[in-house]
Structure 1
Amino acid sequence: MIRPLSSKSLLKAWELIMIDTQTIFEIHHLKQQGFSERKIAKTVHLTRKTVRKYLDNPIQKRPVIRRKSKLDPFKNEIKQLLEQDSHVSAEVVKQRIESMGYAGGITIIRDYLQKVRPTNKQAFIRFESAPGKQMQIDWGHFGSLAYGDTRRKLYALAVVEAYSRMLYVEFTHSQNQSALHQCLLNAFTFFGGTPHEIVVDNMLTAVIERQGPLIRFNDAFLTFLIPFKMVPIACNPGAPHEKGKIESAIKYLRRNFWPLRTFTDLGDVNRQVRKWLDTVANVRVHQTTLKRPVDRFVDVCHRALPELIADSRETQTLKVYKDFAVRFDANTYTTPPWAISKQVTLKANQQTVIIFYQHKKIAVHDRCWQRGQRIETPTHKEQVRKLQRKLWLDKDIAAFSSIGKEAVTYLQALSQARQPIKKNVSRLLSLKDDYGTTSIIYALKRALVHNAIGADYIENILYQEMTPKKQHPPVRLKKEALNNIRLPEPSLAEYDAHVIKRSKK
């Protein structure tokens, strides 16, 4: 049976919980009015001992009730582990003390380590740059965007003008060399010029190697900076305070722009962030300068952009395959059919893919971010159809197709396999001359059954299974063109129909 608390115990528990500043003030106010301690205790519903205690000292520290922790028996061991390695993780500590009998979770270990782990915090002097002297840049990762069944990683390059805190942001699906250069060029255009210095992180597209104070910058990055006459400055590893302005800008982008937004594609992300820059980021009052970045930027005078700027688009030399297309970034982009088998140059930015042949533009496509797609220009497809129609009017092809339906089917198979039709037909007609029409039809049937497309397969079948017929060379004429005349195979069905028609009369 549980005994109820006495009125005295209830009063003590109530006092422990409810004594607050208002009650203490009331005790002293009643005392000033001449109330006795007994009467004050009765008025505020406290014991006389409690009233006397708060009259003697109004500021009383609440007793700290310390509960036992599962970690208590192991704290000396944890202290020794921290002395050996101040950065030891909670997982490793848990593994060590579990062998000693610890049965708790990892959360209390993490909380305890956060309290007792020695810290080495340093003080840093804030520095301010002169107007137009310095820009700071850095990448941020922002998840991915979906294009159908394809997901592309999404990155943001942020560029901040150090004096004014004027911000430029551009989202991309890559952090490669050309993406960095394109974004920087767009940023310089946005700011209307270039600074004297550009502060970078140790990204591989800017810094290849460093040993202490010795830094080896990326050659392509240095080549890009030459026309702008800028000096690159690389931060020390693990020293975010050296580029604190851009670090703050990335955090601000995550906190203020990114939440609760939806996007359809990369273009939509960049349209939204540009609007955010113009209406929010660059017109708000900055917490450090206490001025709007757009107002401080008036004092900035950048160096003008050079007249000639190197092409920073992603560039590749590619082969045009038999489907009159090149392979780029997991997609195929078409070219005019006359470019088949030729080497072309592809230049791509975030919006457009342009294909050149010998410095002449031959195809322009919108860039597709969904993988496994074929991007066609209607005129390219129409050119192929015209070539195919013209091909069927060729005298050799007409002569070969007159052999029979097997020959027509094989021509279609050659076309679908992107085989050179004229070359194959010329060889097939020569084989017909050597082996005869019946043999060539037999070989075509065999080849179609096994999907063996090409004159080489037909020649192999005939060589293995047929015997060339005895050749009787025709009389050679003086005009070589007359020696190459080929007549279509006569259709015996037409003669049969004519005979049947005459017999009915």
Structure 2
Amino acid sequence: MKIDSHIIFEIHRLSDLGYKQRKIARQLGISRPTVRKYLENPKRERANLPGRPSKLDPYRDLIHQMLEKDPDVSAPVVLQHLTAKGFDGKVTIVRDYLRKQRGQKAFGQAFLRIESEPAEQFQIDWGHFGHITYGETRRKLYALAVVESFSRMIYVEFTHSQKQEVLHQCLLHAFSFFGGTAKQIVVDNMLTAVTERQGNLIRFNGHFLEFLRPFKITPVACHVRAAHEKGKIESAIKYLRYNFLPLRSFVDIVDANLQVRDWLHQVANVRLHQGTGCRPIDRFDQVQLRPLPSLLPDCRETSQVKVYKDFAVRFDANTYTTPPWVVGKLVTVKADSTTVSVYLNQKRVAVHQRSWERKKRIELPDHRDQVKKLQQKLWHDKNVAAFSSMGQPAVAYLKGLLESKQPIRKTVAKLLALKDQYGSASVLYAISKAAFFNAYGAEYIENILYQEMTPKNHHPPVQLKNEALNNIRLNEPCLADYDAYIVKRGQTDG
């Protein structure tokens, strides 16, 4: 078998760079004797010696047809088809033959290693690394790896998402880790970077370009199914998977990133790199990256949401509380891997530790205390006091309104208007009936009164010029207090 001229060229190029024969063989996927032969004589060919006949000889054409249909077809599948045609051999001989055929094909697709200049290029890629469990919630675990191509210096960050904002956050952290940016950034065809590709025509993701613009980085997209074009990051992901991950467990995403950062400093970036023969951290001394801009972009996940009656916002399947005075307003939620912040008109009004569980309420004690103070303040409101004076059913109904997060002042004003229209007794009856069905709101009381009661004759009072006097409401007198007073006075007189 004659080795392709590209392989011979690569053998001599690597030898000129000082590579040992063992390393050249491992790099090119060939044997050390083969390396030695072609170093001694680049034009040397193996003699075409007659070989022993093989059981597979009558089936070679059939095997080649199967390989053309599926180059990665497994040996057991090939054996099934051969057996149907009368082959009586074992899977071992089939597996050995497939290995040889795929080895020959690999020689025909040899790629030359292209070395980058210092600070010329970053390569990036995602890897999937299982999941982390939070309570009853499982979150997928991803890692974005970034490598500076000349030095092989690596940065890694674990995330629970590959969303656009998360990609930008990780890249921003990587640029800070390296202390600057390269001229180019090499990506595969992930949708967060490349939205459309037709041959050599590439349309990059607009958000990705907007993120890169202040850093003056040129994106470069690999061809489809051309992993060799970003071989350095492919090797980094593989190295992360087989050197860092085994025998490790993570409490949460913070723990995972602390462990990988320690691994980068103590192992990955201080090891002797097989490709360069140097430690990445030492070669990185030759790299002069472009400085970062003075104003860095805010890459947090961002969404606009409404603050609900329970003084909380919904984000990523959880609720996070806010001060109660923000209820009903449209706010902006910004989140990274550790915190969730709430902004009103660019002013931060709340910040929480991010929860990676789902369907949880994350509440600050201060927010709950503010709600209690507002509720206590409500009891001193003149209309609330007037409504409460109607008796215990009214007080109990008020508490139900508070627990159901109803607008108290607006609801009480409506209920007092219904009292003027139907009378205290009718309103108390409707309140008791609504409370029995846990129906809290002025509309329920109004509906009961409309269906079951008749408005009493209403004679509006004389309207005074001073509007404040027209709005005065007197508390309902408690007749039980008068009865107790009469009984007590009678006992004293007797």
Into which bin does the TM-score normalised by the smaller protein fall? 0.7 to 0.9
Question: For residue 82 of structure 1, what is the aligned residue in structure 2?
Answer: 66
CA contact (8 A) 2:63 2:78 kept: no
Q: Distance in 1 between matches of 2:116 and 2:61?
A: 49
Question: For residue 333 of structure 1, what is the aligned residue in structure 2?
Answer: 320
Asked if 1:120 is matched to 2:105, the reply is: yes
Q: Which of 174, 182, 201 matches 1:214?
A: 201
1:44-443 alignment, distance < 5 Å = 79=63, 82=66, 85-87=69-71, 89=73, 111=95, 114-115=98-99, 120-121=105-106, 122-443=109-430
Q: CA deviation at 1:138?
A: 0.5
Q: Distance in 2 between matches of 1:368 and 1:300?
A: 39
Deviations 1:5-58 (A, max 9, x none): xxxxxxxxxxxxxxxxxxxxxxxxxxxxxxxxxxxxxxxxxxxxxxxxxxxxxx
Q: Any idea what SS the aligned residue of 1:282 has?
A: helix
Q: CA deviation at 1:309?
A: 2.3
Deviations 1:426-450 (A, max 9, x none): 1111111111111111111121122
Q: Distance in 2 between matches of 1:123 and 1:435?
A: 92
Q: Distance in 1 between matches of 2:94 and 2:345?
A: 64
Q: CA deviation at 1:238?
A: 1.1
Q: Distance in 2 between matches of 1:99 and 1:442?
A: 87
Q: Percent identity?
A: 59
Unpaired runs of 5+ residues, structure 2, are: 1-51
Deviations 1:239-267 (A, max 9, x none): 11111111111111111111111221111
Change (3 A) 1:256 1:402: same
Deviations 1:70-106 (A, max 9, x none): xx8995895385177244845876886898899999x
Change (3 A) 1:103 1:146: farther
Q: CA deviation at 1:479?
A: 2.3
Change (3 A) 1:370 1:159: same
Q: CA deviation at 1:148?
A: 1.1
Q: CA deviation at 1:475?
A: 3.1
1:466-477 alignment, distance < 5 Å = 466-477=453-464
Q: What code does the residue aligned with 2:105 have?
A: N
Q: Distance in 1 between matches of 2:488 and 2:131?
A: 75
Q: What code does the residue aligned with 1:82 have?
A: M
Question: For residue 431 of structure 2, what is the aligned residue in structure 1?
Answer: 444
CA contact (8 A) 1:94 1:109 kept: no
TM-score when normalising by structure 1: 0.81
Question: For residue 40 of structure 1, what is the aligned residue in structure 2?
Answer: none
Q: Distance in 2 between matches of 1:444 and 1:113?
A: 87
Unpaired runs of 5+ residues, structure 1, are: 1-63
Q: Distance in 1 between matches of 2:198 and 2:225?
A: 14
Q: Distance in 2 between matches of 1:311 and 1:277?
A: 26
Deviations 1:110-138 (A, max 9, x none): 84784586663211111111111111111
Q: Distance in 2 between matches of 1:458 and 1:423?
A: 14
Q: How many residues align?
A: 437
CA contact (8 A) 2:67 2:73 kept: no
Q: Any idea what SS the aligned residue of 2:332 has?
A: strand
Q: What code does the residue aligned with 1:137 have?
A: I
Deviations 1:210-257 (A, max 9, x none): 111111110011111111111111111111111111111111111111
Q: Distance in 1 between matches of 2:378 and 2:96?
A: 82
Change (3 A) 1:83 1:161: closer
Q: Max radius of gyration: which structure?
A: 1
Q: What code does the residue aligned with 2:349 have?
A: I
